[in-house]
Structure 1
Amino acid sequence: MKEIDSAIGQNERFILGIDGLSRAGKTTLVKKLASMLDTKDIQNLIIHIDDHIVERQSRYNTGQDEWKEYYYLQWDIELLKGILFEKLIYSNELELPYYDNGLDRHEYKNLNIADKKIIIVEGVFLLRKEWSSFFDFTVFLDCPRDVRFSRESLKTQQNIEKFTKRYWKAEDFYMENVRPIAKAQLVLSCDKLVKE
């Protein structure tokens, strides 16, 4: 946490990326960071990338391998690049599509970010080449697969085939090809996060 605190400099606006695989502890870390910023009266905003996934028909049963659907199709990568990441530094307002899981559709909402000093973007695969250059500082939460899997609900754990075909293959591709541990300015283990 100290490393992140010291990285936040005198920028007009500071864009912080919190990356990590599913159930690594990203949300926990983000809550701690936001609380730290609030105590210092630093205006901040959290953006969860999973709030902006696409509709089911665009990411399931597309004819592609399941892991490719998750890695390449779960988000509209180019759309988010244009309406979110490219605007984070200079815009006063964002208009973003928020996904409603129950209705399987989007509702566009406007976010006023004019007074935000720190914007924290939290999510998986943030250091992919299309998005990585937009961050001032990036953190990768490193957590073993068995620990992350143990954090899933028992019902979710029973669908092991979905993990092996969809999630884990995509994660392996990301770790081997994008190499987020090498790219991030700071790597935290989930053990350290629990202790802090």
Structure 2
Amino acid sequence: MSLDNVLRQIAARIPVIDGARVGIDGVDGAGKTVFADRLAQAMSRPVVRVSADDFHNVRAIRHRRGRQSPEGFWLDSYDHDRLRAHVLETFPRYRPKAHDLATDAVVDTPELVAPPNAVLVVDGLFLHRDELRHFWHLSVFLDVPFTVSVPRMATRDGTNPDPEHVSVRRYVEGQRLYFRSCAPQLRATVLVDNTDFDAPRLLAG
């Protein structure tokens, strides 16, 4: 199935309500940002795009369990309190960013107001955590094996392409902890095999 067909099918399922919220989840390297951007382009309604990557915790919190800790990656990477308070609980009012990852600075962006009938599309890791899952009117999990996603990360970030290498253990094992704790593949409204960017497959939903 072509990407355009998959996007059209998902877009058609988004509820026609004020303040609809859509989450695009998946492992590092699954293609969440591109998929969310393309989904936004496929919609006829106004769209507000927000990324969970703009809601990281500061480095001191992210690494408090150790720089290589999988538990730290899973539990401490993101400031979910601010994501909820600044975006998910208030939309169509929202603040699109709370942290600058490059400088590790907390930022306080002015509040914006989405256009009438706008859809919020959020991409990011761990969006089916217990404290986030109930916010989504529709959610997507991009299912990609680590044997594919980790080499994609290596191309993007210069990391090691081997999913079993010690240098990427924090990320791979942290995401496996997420799978065991939250089963996002089952919690998502729609499950998509995104192994091939250009030919994703609807697996469920």
Both structures adopt the same fold (TM-score exceeding 0.5): yes
Instruction: Confirm whether residue 162 of structure 1 aligns to residue 142 of structure 2.
Output: no
Please identify runs of 4+ aligned residues in structure 1 that moved more than 6 A.
Answer: none
Equivalent in the alignment of 1:9? 15
Query: 1:106 matched to which residue of 2?
Result: 106
What is aligned with 1:59? 62
Instruction: Let me know the Cα RMSD of the aligned residues.
Output: 2.2
Return 65-74 or 79-88, whichever deviates more.
Answer: 79-88
Structure 1 or 2: more helix by fraction: 1
1:152 alignment partner, SS class: helix
1:78 to partner: Cα distance:
2.7
C-alpha distance in 2 between matches for 1:111 and 1:169: 36
Aligned residues: 189
Classify 1:98/1:83 alpha carbon distance in 2 versus 1 (closer, same or farther; 3 Å). Answer: closer
Provide the TM-score with structure 1 as the length reference: 0.86
Partners in 2 of 1:82 and 1:22 — Cα distance? 25
2 CA distance for matches of 1:79 and 1:101?
A: 15
Conserved 8 A contact 1:94-1:111 = yes
> 1:93 touches 1:110 (CA, 8 Å); kept in 2?
no
Q: Percent identity?
A: 23
Partners of 1:176 and 1:72 in 2: CA distance? 13
1:20-35 paired onto structure 2 within 5 Å = 20-35=26-41
Counterpart residue number, 1:121: 122
**Kindly tell me: are residues 97 and 149 of structure 1, through their superposed partners in 2, closer, same or farther at Cα, counting changes over 3 Å?**
same
Partner residue, 1:142? 143
Going from structure 1 to structure 2, the CA distance change for 1:53 and 1:95 (only over 3 Å counts) comes to same
Shift of 1:158: 6.8
Q: State the SS of the aligned residue for 1:16.
A: strand
